[in-house]
Amino acid sequence: ISMENSSSVKEFILLGLSENQGVQKIYFVVFLLFYTLTVAGNLLIVLTVTSSRHLNSPMYFFLCHLSFVDVCYSSVTAPQMISGFLVENNTISFAGCIGQLFGLHFFGCTEIFILTAMAYDRYVAICRPLHYPTLMSRCLCGRMVGGSWAGGFLHSTLQTLPIALLPFCGPNKVAHYFCDVHPLLHLACADTRAVGLATVANGGVISLSCFLILVVSYVVILVSLRGQKAAGWRKALSTCGSHITMVILFFGPCTFVYIRPSGDLSEDRSVAVFYTLIVPMLNPLIYTLRNGEVKGAMRKLCRRKV
């Protein structure tokens, strides 16, 4: 399908977060710092896990992939947004816009599935510890991660293709700082109700169903801890605390944006900053501050490099 031929609009103008020049300069400094911390922190986790012989459990295997996905996820939107603060019109080509839409949903959905796989890993580790080495084999972990990437690709294709086939004849100003489903539906020169419902159902069902699976898994974990001593509770909650925090921070905003029909785009922009940049930046802090093994491995890696 030729994207150029499916639309008379050759490029879009991303309106960004603010039209105030002074505010944009402040945003440039702040978000450049956030993005730098996101990339540096998550790549440090990837290097730490891959170079350490002690961090070879399934939990760290999933964490390594989660950090890599976070780098890719932020890189889909952040560079375009940050560079846009320095120019009068932040433009993006039609093909680039569709590519950004695809990448956003590809990496975002992959992260959702990896977080779900991590919840299953924690369930097995706490509820069936004697069978853990057998149930969470390296082969199964590889399949779960591969399935997460494949599921993300399928979801993104189903989200992107209907949008790419819509006619866009003007206006071309996207009321967002990146190309997403709701802002593009507002610009299409056609009845988008069916496409809008399909995309909301696709994104909403995945985020909501995975979130419910995660909630159920942690309810089961808490129920299984009944009758155990306080030390057992503390150990179980310490291994799950980081993951629960990430789930709440990531799924809350995503569900708010994608489970409902097209609404107030200014609200979407504010919430999107949180799940596209803030949460990936917090991921390394959440997992390292609560994990002595990762902190120890990072210190060893830094000493080796120095």
Give the domains, in start order, of the chain with CATH numbers: 11-303 (1.20.1070.10)
Parts of the chain with a pLDDT under 50:
1-6
Answer for the pair 15, 176: CB distance below 8 angstroms, yes or no: yes
Q: What is the pLDDT of residue 99?
A: 94
What's the pLDDT score for residue 1? Answer: 42
Task: Look up the pTM and report it.
Answer: 0.87
- Taking only the tens place, the pLDDT of each residue in 177-188 is 899 888 888 888
H, E, C per residue of the chain = CCCCCCCCCCEEEECCCCCCHHHHHHHHHHHHHHHHHHHHHHHHHHHHHHHCCCCCCHHHHHHHHHHHHHHHHHHHHHHHHHHHCCCCCEEEEHHHHHHHHHHHHHHHHHHHHHHHHHHHHHHHHHHCHHHHHHHCCHHHHHHHHHHHHHHHHHHHHHHHHHHHCCCCCCCCEECCCCCCHHHHHHHCCCCCHHHHHHHHHHHHHHHHHHHHHHHHHHHHHHHHCCCCCHHHHHHHHHHHHHHHHHHHHHHHHHHHHHCCCCCCHHHHHHHHHHHHHHHHHHHHHHHHHCCHHHHHHHHHHHHHHC
Q: What is the pLDDT of residue 229?
A: 67
